[in-house]
Amino acid sequence: MRADPWVVNELCEQLVCDWYELFIFSERDMQSAAYFWVRKYFDRNRTERWRVRNEPIFRLRDGTHYKPDLVVFKDGRPVDAFELKCHLRRVDLGLWDKDLTKLCRLKDECKLRHAYQLVLYDAEGVSELASQKEPWMKRYLTFVGANVRRHEYTCRLRRGYHDARRLWEHNARRLGLEGTT
């Protein structure tokens, strides 16, 4: 199934704007912001069939439990799953493999329409992150990385980044969020 263009093009841009507005300091904040934007997107459709849930628990046949960060349900069935990563202190690619395994298992057992792995990061000299796609991922998984330093389309340094970063770091220290990623 094809990825939703709104997720690929607009959701990540909204998350970057939320970072600039000091709404995102950690992965939990990113999860809350993504939940807000995804829910708002489906509310626009004005249909009662769509629901967005934060970390629902899926019990698989072999007894394992998975909690994707966000899941969109249609008529009570899961259709889209989101795994979110927030790397604002350093980029750690090793954390993604666990999420990919989770999304693969959910795809097989729950017959999901699509899965998204969204990464918000801050890295100098990295304009785009990409995940190595295995054959099963090509039509099912969409990876989207958004660098808060650079605009997604022009890859130029965003105007005001350094001021925003300084304010973000000041507030992170003030709130005692030194070790957040």
Q: What pLDDT does 82 receive?
A: 93
Q: Is residue 79 domain-resident? A: yes
Does 146 reside within a domain? yes
Name 41's Cβ contacts closer than 8 Å, sequence gap at least 6.
6, 11
What is the predicted pLDDT for the residue at 153? 47
- Residue 9, domain CATH: 3.40.1350
Q: Digits of tens for pLDDT over the chain (181 positions)?
A: 466 888 888 898 899 888 888 888 888 999 999 999 999 888 776 666 888 999 999 998 888 889 999 999 988 899 899 999 888 877 766 677 778 778 888 888 888 888 888 888 887 766 556 555 556 566 678 888 888 876 544 444 456 777 788 888 888 888 877 655 5
- Asked if residue 179 is part of any domain, the answer here is no
- Give the long-range contacts of residues 151-156, CB within 8 A, separation 24 or more: 152/12, 152/13, 152/16, 155/127, 155/128
Q: Residue by residue, what is the 3-state secondary structure of 73-141?
A: EECCEEEEEEEEEEECCCCCHHHHHHHHHHHHHHHHHHCCCEEEEEEEECCCCCCCCCCCCCHHHCCCE
Cβ atoms of 15 and 37 within 8 Å: the answer is yes
Residue 99 lies in a domain: yes
The model carries a pTM of: 0.81
Cβ atoms of residues 79 and 113 within 8 Å: yes
pLDDT in the model for residue 37? 94
> Domain span at residue 76?
5-174
User: What's the number of domains the chain is made of?
Assistant: 1
Residue 180 in domain: no
β-sheet with 114-121: strand ranges across:
50-54, 70-74, 77-87, 114-121, 141-147
pLDDT for 135 equals 61
Is 181 domain-assigned? Answer: no
- For 13, the 3-state DSSP assignment is helix
The residues facing 80 across adjacent strands are 72, 114
Is 88 among the domain residues? yes
